[in-house]
Chain A
Amino acid sequence: MRLISQIGAWFDERLQIAASVRDAAEHPVPRRAASWWYVFGSAALVVFLLQLVTGILLALVYVPSAGEAWSSLQALNHDVALGWFIRALHGWGSNFMIAIVLIHMVQVFLFGAYKFPRELTWIVGVFLLLMTLGMAFSGQVLRFDQDAYWGLGIGASISSRIPIIGPAAVKLLLGGPIIAGATLSRFFALHVFVIPGTLIGLVCLHLLMVMKLGINEWPMPGRLVKRATYFDEYHALTKKEGEPFVPYAIWKDLFFAAAILLAVGACAAFFGPFGPTGQPDPTIIQTAPRPDYFFLWLYALLSLLPPSLETPALLIGPVVVIAGLILLPFLSGEGEKSWKRRPIAVLTVLLVAITLGTFTRLAQFAPWSPKMNAWSGTSVPARFLHRTTALERQGALVFQVKQCRNCHSLGDSGGQRGPALDAVAARLTQDQLIRQVIQGGGNMPAYGNNISPAETTALVAFLETLHPVGQRPAGNAALSQQ
C-alpha cells in the first residue's frame, strides 16, 4: 500500500494533476440535481467511448476502398471471429448514441439548463449533435452497399441544388465526377479522423464548462435566472445543500452507463449487425434504397413536400433550425427554468417529437413509393372477379399489365402511391374514369399514348365493377334526371 502511494506521489510530482482531478471529482452538486434525469450526458460520453473502441477494432479489418469495402464487411460478418458482433456493437452504439444525445438535449432544454451562464455549453452541444449526425451519415456511407451508394447519390442531388456553387459542391463531396473510390476514401477520412477529432475536442470543452460552471440546479418554478445574481445564488445553493459529485451523484451515472452498454450489447447480440445490403454496383438497378433509421424522417419529408418547396426547404430549413438552436440561449437566456412554467417549450418538444415520429413511422411503410413488382407479383384478389364479364376480366388483366397496381391497391395489396381502388366506381363516373386514365392528372401519369381504345374500354369496365355491395356506382346526375 505504501509502495502504491509512493508511486502515485512520484507521478504526481511530475504530472501535477491530482489536485485538479480531486477538485473535479469533489466539485459540489446541488443535492436535487444528483437526479436520474441528469445521467444522459455521461451516458452519451460512455457510448461515444464505446464507438471509439469498436471503431478502432473494425478498422483492423475494414478496407476503405470502393472495390474492397463491401467484401471486407462480408469477411467481418462471416470469416473473422466475432467480427459480426463488433460490427453490431458499432451499429447499435450509433443508434443509441443519437437517441441518448437527443434525450440529453431535450432534458437540457426542458430543465432550462441552456440559460445563463451555460449558453456556450449549449452551443457546443448543438455542434456535438451535428457532429453525431455527421458520424451517423458518414458511417452509413462506410457500410459501402447499395443503400450507401444511392444515399450518396441523394446527398449529391441535394448538394447540387445549392445556388451557384452546386456543381462544385457535388464534386467536392464525391471527390470526383461520380460516386467512386475517391468518394469512399474521403468519407473514411471524415468518419475516422475529421469528425471524431472535432468531437473529442468539443466533448472536452463541453465537459470543462460543465465542471467549471457546475451542474444545472434542479429547476424550481418561480426561481428566475438573473445575470446579476445567478452566480451568488448558485454558490449559496451549493454551499447550503451541495454534495461532492463523487460519490454522491456519480453512482447513478455509473449504473445508467453500464445499463446502456448492456442494452447496446444485448441488441447487438440479439439483432446482429446492419447489412451490408447488396453490392455497390450501379448497374444493379433492382434496388429500393432506404436511409438508416435516424434519417427516415428526412426520407418522408422529401417525398411529401410539394416539388416547388423542396429546394428551399432543403437549403434553408437546416440553416433555420441550426440558427434557431444556436440563438436559443440568447433569446431566452434568463428567466424561468422550470418546464412547469414554460408551456411553449413543452409544446415545442412535443410538436417536434410527434412530427419526427410520424415521419419516421410513415417512412417505414413508404406509401409514396410505387411497389415495383406488384403488377407481376400481386394478383387481383379473386373476390373482385366474381360474376364478372369477359370484358371486365380483360380489364383486370389490363389493370395488372399496365402496372396500375404498382401505385394502386386492391384489397389492401399493391402500391399506395395513388388512392386504393376498391371502391373507385363509387367515386368516379365512367366518363371521369376514362378521362383520368387517358389524361392522368392529380399526380397520375397520362396513359393516352400507351393504352389502346379497346384496352381503355376493358379497363374502365373493370374499374366500374369496383364499388361496395349495395352501393350504386357513381353516375352523371344530369343524365339520370333526363
Chain B
Amino acid sequence: MANETPLSRRALMRLGILFNGFVAAALAVPIGRYLLSSITRGSANGYLAWVPLGPVSGFPEGETRLATFRNPVVMPTDGKTVDTACWVRHIEGDRFQVFAINCAHLGCPVRWFPQSGLFMCPCHGGAYYRDGSRASGPPERGLFEYPCKIENGLVAIQAGELPTPGPSAALCGKEPPCA
C-alpha cells in the first residue's frame, strides 16, 4: 500500500499534465489560425483584385504618369495607408506598363524623370530605364510590374499586395506589356 499510493499519485499527475497538454493543443489551433490569418488568406490569392486607375485619355501616349489607387482590401483603421501610387507608362495605342512605386531593392518610392528617361530611388540609389528594366545601383531586377488591362476605356491593374523583391516577386514580376 505504501508503495502503491505515490505511484498512483504520480500517474494522476501525468494524467493531469496530459489533460492540460490536450487542452493547450485544442486552444492552440484557433489561436494559431488567428495569428496566421494574414498568411492563409493571401495564399488563396484573396488579396488581389482588378483596380481601375482612370480613363486611357488621362495617360498621354509616350508618357509616364503617376496614378493613385485604393487598395482593394480596406480596414476601417487604415487611414491614408491604403492609397497607393504607381507609375503608368502609356507606350502606344492599347499598350501600357504599370510599375509599382516600390524600388525592387528595398521598397522605397522611385521617382520618374522624363528628361533622362530614368526612375531613380532616393534611398540607396537604384535606377531603372523607362521600360522598368534595371539601369544601375543595388536592385537585382527591374521594377515590379502590375498585370494590366483596358476595360471600358479604363486602365485597370491587378493589385492588392505590397510588391517585395523576395520569392513573392515572381507573383507580380515580369509580364509582357498588356496588349
**A430 proximal to B (CB < 8 A):** no
Q: How far apart are the CA atoms of A407 and B140 in the complex, in Å?
A: 20
Q: Kindly list chain B residues whose C-beta atoms are within 8 Å of the C-beta of A404.
A: 116
Minimum CB distance partner of A400 in chain B? B115
Partner of B42, one of A171, A183, A307, A440: A171
Interface string of B124-150 (1 = CB under 8 A from A): 110101100001111110000000000
Q: Contact check, A166 vs B166: say whether CB atoms are below 8 A apart.
A: yes
Partner of A445, one of B68, B111, B135, B165: B135
Partner of A302, one of B75, B117, B124, B129: B124
Interface string of B76-94 (1 = CB under 8 A from A): 1111111111000000000
Q: Kindly list chain B residues whose C-beta atoms are within 8 Å of the C-beta of A288.
A: 122-123
Minimum CB distance partner of B75 in chain A? A181
Q: Kindly list chain A residues whose C-beta atoms are within 8 Å of the C-beta of B167.
A: 160-161, 163-164, 166-167
Given contacts A150-B107, A178-B71, contact A280 B81 (CB under 8 A): yes
Given contacts A157-B165, A282-B81, contact A303 B108 (CB under 8 A): no
Q: Contact check, A181 vs B81: say whether CB atoms are below 8 A apart.
A: yes
Q: Contact check, A280 vs B164: say whether CB atoms are below 8 A apart.
A: no
Q: Contact check, B116 vs A403: say whether CB atoms are below 8 A apart.
A: yes
Q: How far apart are the CA atoms of A46 and B164 in the complex, in Å?
A: 40
Chain B interface SS verdict (over half): loop
Q: Contact check, A443 vs B83: say whether CB atoms are below 8 A apart.
A: no
Number of interface residues of A (CB under 8 A): 72
**B161 proximal to A (CB < 8 A):** yes
Q: How far apart are the CA atoms of A150 and B107 in the complex, in Å?
A: 7
- Contacts of A396-433 to chain B: CB distance below 8 A: 401-404, 406-407, 417
Q: Contact check, B166 vs A167: say whether CB atoms are below 8 A apart.
A: yes
**A238 proximal to B (CB < 8 A):** no
Q: Contact check, A450 vs B81: say whether CB atoms are below 8 A apart.
A: no
**A68 proximal to B (CB < 8 A):** yes
Minimum CB distance partner of B84 in chain A? A282
Partner of B162, one of A156, A303, A444: A156
Most buried by A among B68, B124, B139: B124
Partner of A406, one of B73, B108, B120: B120
**A461 proximal to B (CB < 8 A):** no
> Closest Cβ of chain A: how far from B163's Cβ, in Å?
9
Q: Kindly list chain A residues whose C-beta atoms are within 8 Å of the C-beta of B109.
A: 150, 282, 285, 287
Most buried by A among B42, B122, B140, B169: B122
Interface string of A355-395 (1 = CB under 8 A from B): 00000000000001110100100000000000000000000
Q: Kindly list chain A residues whose C-beta atoms are within 8 Å of the C-beta of B80.
A: 66-67, 279-283
> Closest Cβ of chain A: how far from B73's Cβ, in Å?
6
Minimum CB distance partner of A303 in chain B? B124
Interface string of A430-449 (1 = CB under 8 A from B): 00000000001001111101
Q: Kindly list chain B residues whose C-beta atoms are within 8 Å of the C-beta of A401.
A: 115
Q: Kindly list chain A residues whose C-beta atoms are within 8 Å of the C-beta of B84.
A: 178, 282-283
Given contacts A160-B166, A288-B122, contact A66 B77 (CB under 8 A): yes
Most buried by B among A174, A307, A404, A444: A307
Q: How far apart are the CA atoms of A377 and B140 in the complex, in Å?
A: 30
Q: Kindly list chain B residues whose C-beta atoms are within 8 Å of the C-beta of A95.
A: none
Partner of A178, one of B110, B111, B161, B166: B161
> Closest Cβ of chain B: how far from A276's Cβ, in Å?
13
Q: Kindly list chain A residues whose C-beta atoms are within 8 Å of the C-beta of B68.
A: 283
Given contacts A66-B78, A153-B107, A181-B79, contact A445 B118 (CB under 8 A): yes
Q: How far apart are the CA atoms of A164 and B77 in the complex, in Å?
A: 31
> Closest Cβ of chain A: how far from B105's Cβ, in Å?
7
**A65 proximal to B (CB < 8 A):** yes
- Contacts of A302-320 to chain B: CB distance below 8 A: 302-303, 305, 307-308, 310
Q: How far apart are the CA atoms of A154 and B39 in the complex, in Å?
A: 19
Q: Contact check, B123 vs A369: say whether CB atoms are below 8 A apart.
A: yes
Given contacts A154-B106, A157-B105, A166-B166, contact A449 B77 (CB under 8 A): no
Q: How far apart are the CA atoms of A449 and B118 in the complex, in Å?
A: 11
**A176 proximal to B (CB < 8 A):** yes
Q: Contact check, A180 vs B82: say whether CB atoms are below 8 A apart.
A: yes
Q: Kindly list chain A residues whose C-beta atoms are within 8 Å of the C-beta of B160.
A: 177-178
- Contacts of B1-45 to chain A: CB distance below 8 A: 35-36, 38-39, 42-43
Given contacts A67-B78, A178-B162, A447-B116, contact A289 B136 (CB under 8 A): no
**A168 proximal to B (CB < 8 A):** yes
**A338 proximal to B (CB < 8 A):** no
Q: How far apart are the CA atoms of A174 and B113 in the complex, in Å?
A: 31
Partner of A179, one of B81, B106, B125: B81
Q: Contact check, A446 vs B71: say whether CB atoms are below 8 A apart.
A: no
Minimum CB distance partner of A65 in chain B? B77
Q: Kindly list chain B residues whose C-beta atoms are within 8 Å of the C-beta of A402.
A: 115-116
**B47 proximal to A (CB < 8 A):** yes
Q: How far apart are the CA atoms of A163 and B137 in the complex, in Å?
A: 23
Q: How far apart are the CA atoms of A299 and B166 in the complex, in Å?
A: 19
Closest 6 CB pairs of A and B: A67-B79, A160-B166, A153-B107, A160-B164, A445-B135, A166-B166
12 further interface pairs, Cβ-Cβ under 8 Å (given A177-B162, A446-B135): A150-B123, A168-B39, A177-B160, A282-B101, A283-B68, A286-B111, A287-B109, A302-B124, A307-B138, A369-B125, A403-B116, A447-B116
20 A-B Cβ contacts within 8 A? A66-B79, A150-B108, A153-B102, A153-B107, A154-B107, A154-B123, A157-B164, A167-B166, A168-B39, A171-B38, A171-B42, A172-B38, A177-B47, A180-B71, A283-B83, A303-B123, A368-B125, A370-B121, A403-B116, A445-B129
| Residues on A facing B (Cβ under 8 Å) | 65-68, 70, 149-150, 153-154, 156-164, 166-168, 170-172, 174-183, 185, 279-283, 285-289, 299, 302-303, 305, 307-308, 310, 368-370, 372, 375, 401-404, 406-407, 417, 440, 443-447, 449-450
